Amino acid sequence: MSSSSAPPAPPQPAQQSNANSMHLSPLPPTVFTLPQTAQLEALYTIIRDKETNRGDFLFYSDRIIRLLVEEGLNHLPVVPRTVKTPTGNTYEGVGFVGKICGVSILRAGEAMEVGLREVCRSVRIGKILIQRDEETAQPKLFFSKLPSDIAERYVLLLDPMLATGGSAMKAVEVLLEAGVAEERIIFINLISSPEGLTAFAERFPKLKVIAGWIDEGLNEKAYIVPGLGDFGERRYCE
């Protein structure tokens, strides 16, 4: 009988699957997820792990946020643009059209501003604070500061966790009241619950959502499961 232990399992080749959207099928037509690669799943595995320290949580959640912002920008319109290259040739490409801005839903959404700034230099960013009204238990607007010309911009709305969807829906109401057209808003989040995402997409059928991952559901405390816990605490507290 050999005393040697079994060799370690070989690394698995990177594969595509639809694990990031399997809890909501079919997806509402306005909801998009990231291409589900092993790389992406590895990033999510790190940020979900309760043993991950704050430094790694920051680093890896920022990597996901950059991917989400890039995917959000893919949904903005472009116009034809022709340039001359250093070789003296002409290149017929496209250019961005229209101004954008970010709006973060405080406080967790603020954590996504760095990722947005890394992708969109000198982008204007507004803020919205929504909290539960103690009397009515409904989400209530406490504070908003938006760019004065927001109605002329495309808006990337930022909130990492879409649980019941109450705060995100209230934030969209604030943007609509400020004159932003629904179809000019792109909502970006790292993890959605299927119930929150369904309610949100039904309420705002012209608004696009980039959901990095759609989890199983909500627990009795309205936390997303399996989720990653409280995003703000993971991000801001050691």
- Taking the least distance from each CB to ligand URA, the nearer of 147 and 227 is 227
Applying the rule CB under 6 A, the residues between 69 and 108 that interact with ligand URA are 108
Among residues 15, 71, 67, 12, the alpha carbon closest in space to that of 44 is found at: 67
Asked if 49 touches ligand URA (CB under 6 A), the answer is: no
Sort strands 139-145 and 124-132 into parallel, antiparallel or unpaired: antiparallel
Sort strands 161-162 and 99-106 into parallel, antiparallel or unpaired: unpaired
User: Which of 46, 161, 169, 174 touches ligand URA (CB under 6 A)?
Assistant: 161
Among residues 64, 56, 70, 142, the alpha carbon closest in space to that of 106 is found at: 142
Range 178-185 contact pairs with CB under 8 angstroms and sequence separation of 24 or more:
178/146, 178/150, 178/151, 179/150, 179/151, 180/150, 180/151, 180/153, 180/155, 181/151, 182/206, 182/207, 183/207, 184/153, 184/154, 184/155, 185/154, 185/155, 185/157
User: Which of 112, 163, 185, 201 touches ligand URA (CB under 6 A)?
Assistant: 163
Report residue 2: phi and psi, to 5°: -75, 140
- Taking the least distance from each CB to ligand URA, the nearer of 46 and 224 is 224
Task: Count the residues of the shown chain that bind ligand URA, applying the rule CB under 6 A.
Answer: 9
Q: With contacts defined by CB under 6 A, name the span among 38-46, 57-65, 174-182, 222-230 that binds ligand URA.
A: 222-230
User: Which of 118, 177, 216, 230 touches ligand URA (CB under 6 A)?
Assistant: 230
- Taking the least distance from each CB to ligand URA, the nearer of 169 and 224 is 224
Radius of gyration of the chain (CA): 20
CA atoms 201, 203, 208, 213: torsion sign: negative
For residues 102 and 125, the answer to whether their CB atoms sit within 8 Å is yes
Asked if 223 touches ligand URA (CB under 6 A), the answer is: yes
Q: With contacts defined by CB under 6 A, name the span among 21-29, 99-107, 113-121, 225-233 that binds ligand URA.
A: 225-233
Q: With contacts defined by CB under 6 A, name the span among 39-47, 52-60, 179-187, 228-236 that binds ligand URA.
A: 228-236
- Taking the least distance from each CB to ligand URA, the nearer of 65 and 108 is 108
Asked if 177 touches ligand URA (CB under 6 A), the answer is: no
- Taking the least distance from each CB to ligand URA, the nearer of 163 and 174 is 163
Count the neighbouring beta carbons within 10 Å of the beta carbon of residue 69.
Answer: 24
- Taking the least distance from each CB to ligand URA, the nearer of 213 and 231 is 231
Residues at the site binding ligand URA, with contacts judged by CB under 6 A: 108, 161, 163, 223-224, 227, 230-232
